[in-house]
Amino acid sequence: MRKMQFVEAIIEAMAEEMRLNDKIFIMGEDVGFAGGVRLATKGLFQEFGGERVRDTPISEAVIVGAGVGAAITGSRPIVELMYGDFLFIAGDEIFNKMAKWRYEHGGTLKVPMVLRITTGGGFGGASEHSQSLESVMLAVPGYDIYYPSTPAEAKAMLKMAINDDNPTIFLEHRLLYKTTGDVPDAGVQVPFGKADIKRPGKDVTVTVHGYQVLTALSAAEKLSAEGIDVEVVDLRFIRPLDKETILSSVAKTGRLVTMEEGHKTGGIGGEVAAIVAEEGIFDLYGPIKRVAALDIPVPYSPPMEKFVLPSEQKLLDAVREAMRY
């Protein structure tokens, strides 16, 4: 067992797989000699060289398009986008090429690529560098979406994604990079598409993902002192969503609060709520509550950013409101 930073787990996962398979390579802006803008490829250029850790032009469409081309011709690229907000610049390559080409060609070709995307706010990055766009990604079928919240999960899930013949979007919240956690020497097993109950509870289910898992766990401890027992369900996979775990938890607690950093309208919480409304409505004691970013662009001003993004206090209020029923 080793204590490891989230970013170190990302690097180690890629390095271990690259040593095993010379078809794996990394490409993106500043991923080479500089080791990435967040040092998430630190040391890999020095070990594997410029052929396998490739710096690219500042063109997200070119980066993703080249990755798709490499994937369908036999390589296994790991493509990095510096900010999730740049998803739209590469939109055609992601949504119409990476996502659809295996389907459109009747399965005769594979697209075994990982698109690593840094996402999320909370650092004063303003409206074009702070968005959480999981719901946009979920709206287009054709790839899986992974979103780990711990170093151990980051390493295990990235290795899983690298070895999958299907395309994967792998989300990394920037505020998680320096968080630490135990990583077993033998690794951990993360069942594909399976959510994780980070904290069992009997009174309220809170579904959450990414960095906000830490917020939910902190809030759950505070609520415990009030006699409210919160079950924290870390989704881990945005696609496929683990309906079984969500519904089982709600059947036990009778209450559901969803939390996410994306905007409330059209968000992941709405999808979770729809699943429970369709298949678990009679297990609920009262209305579902949603905690999410307000439906305005994320501000640059730190006080305004805190006002717009979800927070521990907003979650505390929502859980207490759910407990009224």
Mean pLDDT of 132-138: 96
CB 207 within 8 Å of CB 289: no
The pLDDT tens digits for 150-169 are 999 999 999 999 999 999 99
Mean pLDDT of 317-325: 97
CB 162 within 8 Å of CB 13: yes
Half-sphere exposure of 158 (CA within 13 A, CB side): 32
Which of the four CATH numbers 3.90.700.10, 3.40.50.970, 3.30.465.10, 1.10.3720.10 does domain 2-183 have?
A: 3.40.50.970
Q: Which residues are designated catalytic? A: 129
The pLDDT tens digits for 39-89 are 999 999 999 999 999 999 999 999 999 999 999 999 999 999 999 899 999
Percentage of the chain beyond pLDDT 70 is 100
Average pLDDT score, the chain: 96
pTM (whole model) above 0.85: yes
**Other residues' Cβ atoms within 10 Å of the Cβ of residue 268:** 28
Report which residue type is found at 41.
Answer: T
CB 104 within 8 Å of CB 65: no
Domain ranges of the chain: 2-183, 196-322
**pLDDT grade for 123, boundaries at 50, 70 and 90:** confident
The pLDDT tens digits for 309-319 are 999 999 999 99
- Give residue 164's Cα distance to chain centre: 17
Strand 144-146 to strand 237-239: parallel, antiparallel, or no bridges (unpaired)?
A: antiparallel
The reply to whether 2-183 and 196-322 are identical in fold is yes
Please, what is the Cα angle at 135 between 129 and 139, to 5 degrees? 125
CATH architecture assigned to 196-322: 3-Layer(aba) Sandwich (3.40)
Report which residue type is found at 252.
Answer: K
Report which residue type is found at 310.
Answer: P
Instruction: Say yes or no to pLDDT of 186 above 80.
Output: no
Backbone CA torsion sign across 129, 132, 135, 141: positive
